Structure 1
């Protein structure tokens, strides 16, 4: 049932398809809506509601900006809150501040690198944005290298900017990814699914072969197993998992285990 003014209650639509232009009414709580609604990684804070991908703040509610299934993650601990977002099969990536992505170095110009991240424009990366980098000790980065980093600037009015260090200046797993291995692309929805804690797909794959894997929020995955054949099998399974049920996935893993 539609709420006042044609808006729809967000709680009742979780798990259902929403369309661009739909306005969602948030559950009413004693706090003022303007103080509760936040854009960013504050879903763990009690009473904070986070507006995730596919949604935009609209007065005291949320405006749907892309088609997909409405999802909700409750906040930990006591109190209301959590995060709302739209789960879609979108493949075009829009840079978001704080996202960890896999990019490809396309240009090496002076003190900066240009990195293709799959968005509408390339991101910039300073040679000083690496752990231990100085004017004398420059990182060994070449055109064509794969870079795993995060955005520190990402909005519609400015060129995206990446770094390969965290807030304490440590690489923390970021930097140039090895030349070996395979890079492939999947939908953004599958990436979010694979990055969920204790993802069954990754656990089941780990029981088949030992492998290294890097996930980028821009839909790119880099994987490297012991042999080229095993690398291709892992990549093919990850691509197919998007359209497989849990039962079909179990059967596929069973066949691979036997072989």
Structure 2
């Protein structure tokens, strides 16, 4: 799908046979009144650029905007901070207007007798499972199709960087050069949240801080996303 600028209320037509996941800025609508049409109708809810990523079986579409506040969308990957505990789970700050709910059983191998014991302030990596305008969002920290964590769950140690929503989406694209350039110099773990948060962990505190400084520079527009410049900066920060 070619990128086009859309306005709130614009209708977006996709073939009925397409399997798509709707991202931020797009809402589903009723079927067209034209009986000869085989299309489902989707409505743009934001001003921005219509973007898409095609997978092997499904495609994901969303409206890329310059919004600073994160609005939860189903299946979004997010990084959150535990801010409260209750009998059935946790309340998590994911940067949206409402706090997210995280069930204590929404972890790998969690049972009523064996639940994770997360402290306030703990970082977690999860997926949004419920995102309705009039309800608190809900997240989970495991892959329900496998029952395994698949990288979700508590994020231990490391550092979190707050970035623009646009940069986080760019980093999830395989061809975006920033992470490839960083990985050529330092081995590290990373979790990218579509809510404008990135978690990093390298083998040493110094390397982790160097990675954070480079990403923060790119986010602020002070560093160009070019391999030579990024490699040079990493070496300078590690010197």
Determine the structure 2 residue equivalent to 1:54.
Answer: 25
C-alpha offsets along residues 47-66 of structure 1, whole Å, 9 cap, x if unaligned? xxx65432334656554322
RMSD between aligned residues? 3.0
**How far did 1:16 drift?**
5.0
- Given the superposition, is the C-alpha separation of residues 222 and 158 from structure 1 closer, same or farther in structure 2, using an over 3 Å criterion? same
CA distance in 1, matches of 2:223, 2:121: 37
Q: Mind listing any 5+ residue stretches in structure 1 that lack a counterpart?
A: 1-10, 28-32, 44-49
Please say which structure displays the higher CA radius of gyration: 1
Whole-angstrom distance in 1 between the partners of 2:138 and 2:180: 33
Q: What TM-score do the two structures reach when normalised by structure 2?
A: 0.79
**Structure 2 counterpart of 1:134:** 111
Instruction: Please name the residue that 2:47 is paired with.
Output: 67
Instruction: Confirm or deny: 8 A CA contact 2:214 2:223 kept in the other structure.
Output: no
Q: TM-score, normalised by structure 1?
A: 0.74
More helix as a share of residues: 1
Task: State the SS of the aligned residue for 1:208.
Answer: coil
**Bigger relative contact order, structure 1 or 2 (CA pairs below 8 A, ≥6 apart):** 2
Are the equivalent residues in 2 in contact too, given 1:241–1:249 (CA < 8 A)?
no
Structure 2 unaligned spans of 5+:
33-39
Whether 2:153 is the aligned partner of 1:175: answer: yes
Is 1:147 matched with 2:118?
Answer: no
The answer to whether 1:88 aligns with 2:76 is no
Indicate yes or no: 2:141 matched with 1:164: yes
Conserved? CA contact 1:115–1:123, under 8 Å: yes
